[in-house]
Amino acid sequence: MILYKTEEEIQLIRESAQILGKAHGEVARQVKAGIKTKDLDKIAEEFIADHGGKASFKGYNGFPSTLCISVNENVVHGFPSEYELKDGDIISIDCGVFYKGYHSDSAYTYPVGEITPETMSLLKATKESLYQGIEQAKYGNRMGDVSYAIQKYVEDRGYTVVRELVGHGLGKSLHESPEVPNYGKRGRGPKLQHGLVIAIEPMVNLGTRNIVQENDGWTIRTRDRKPSAHYEHTVAVFEDRTEILTTHKYIEEVFNI
Ligand code: MG
Ligand code: MG
C-alpha cells in the first residue's frame, strides 16, 4: 500500500532533508586521498546528532554505521572502515536522516583526486540519469516512465543499470511502497499521485550489470569489478509540480561533477 503524505508530513521530510543535505556537505569537504572512510562516517554521525536527527541507516536490519560507503567496484551498502581513500578512487556516499518522525535519503558519488576520463563520464551520466528520472516523476505519469527514462539515458551511453536494487517510497519508514526500479517500460506501474514521496536512485555500472554480495553480508559489488556509481534524491510529487526535497547543493559547493 502506498502511503501518500500530507503537506505537513512533507514539510517534516523537507526539514529532515535539509539536515541530510548539510551533513553530506560536511562530509564532502573531507573526501580526499588519505582519509579513512570511518572518519567520514564520524563526521556525518556527529553532524546529524548535533542537529537533532538520527541516522536512518544505523541499526537498520543491523547495519553498523551512519553512512553507506561504497568505493570503486562496490555499488551500494558498503560500510565505513580503516580503508584510506587514494587518488583515482571513486566513493559513493549514501546517507539517511530520521527527524521528527520522518526519513530522508540521498546519495552522491565523488571522484578522489584525478580519476580516469572513462570513470568521470560514468559519474556524469549516472547523475544526469537521476535528473532524467526526476523529470518524469510528475503527477499523472506512471512509475514506468521514471524507470524507462533512467534506463534509456544510461544504456544509450553504453552503461548498465543494476536491477536487483531499486528506489523506494519513504516517510515514517525508510523503505515503503512503491518500488522505483531503474529500468522498465513507459506507461506501466503505479500512477504517480499527489503526496507521493519517493527516493529515486540509479545505480549504474561501467561494465556488466551483474552484481554479487560480499561475504560481509552487506556490500554489493560489480561481478566484473568495474566501477559503479550511485546518485539519489528524495522527491515529492504534487498535482502541480514535483519538488526535490533533498539537496546536493552543499556537496556541490565543494565538488561538482
Ligand atoms: Mg540512500
Ligand atoms: Mg534509498
Does the residue 2 lie in any domain?
Answer: no
Distances (CA, A) of 71 to 22, 151, 206, 228: 22, 23, 14, 9
CA–centroid distance, residue 59 to ligand 2 (Å): 15
Other residues' Cβ atoms within 10 Å of the Cβ of residue 83: 15
CATH number at residue 106: 3.90.230.10
Task: Give the per-residue pLDDT at 140.
Answer: 96
Task: Give the per-residue pLDDT at 256.
Answer: 81
Q: What is the DSSP string of 3-38?
A: -PPPHHHHHHHHHHHHHHHHHHHHHHTT-STT-BHH
| Sheet-wide strand order for 228-230 | 160-161, 203-205, 228-230
Other residues' Cβ atoms within 10 Å of the Cβ of residue 214: 12
CA–centroid distance, residue 12 to ligand 2 (Å): 18
Task: Give the per-residue pLDDT at 94.
Answer: 98
Does the residue 138 lie in any domain?
Answer: yes
Does the residue 44 lie in any domain?
Answer: yes
Task: Give the per-residue pLDDT at 115.
Answer: 97
Does the residue 1 lie in any domain?
Answer: no
Does the residue 120 lie in any domain?
Answer: yes
Q: Total structural domains in the chain?
A: 1
Task: Give the per-residue pLDDT at 197.
Answer: 98
Of 148, 130, 108, 132, the residue nearest 250 (C-alpha) = 108
Ligand nearest to the CA of 179: 2
Ligand nearest to the CA of 165: 2
Does the residue 121 lie in any domain?
Answer: yes
Ligand nearest to the CA of 198: 2
CA–centroid distance, residue 231 to ligand 2 (Å): 9
CA–centroid distance, residue 171 to ligand 1 (Å): 13
pLDDT tens sequence for the chain (257 residues): 999 999 999 999 999 999 999 999 999 999 999 999 999 999 999 999 999 999 999 999 999 999 999 999 999 999 999 999 999 999 999 999 999 999 999 999 999 999 999 999 999 999 999 999 999 999 999 999 999 999 999 999 999 999 999 999 999 999 999 999 999 999 999 999 999 999 999 999 999 999 999 999 999 999 999 999 999 999 999 999 999 999 999 999 998 88
Radius of gyration of the chain (CA): 17
Does the residue 152 lie in any domain?
Answer: yes
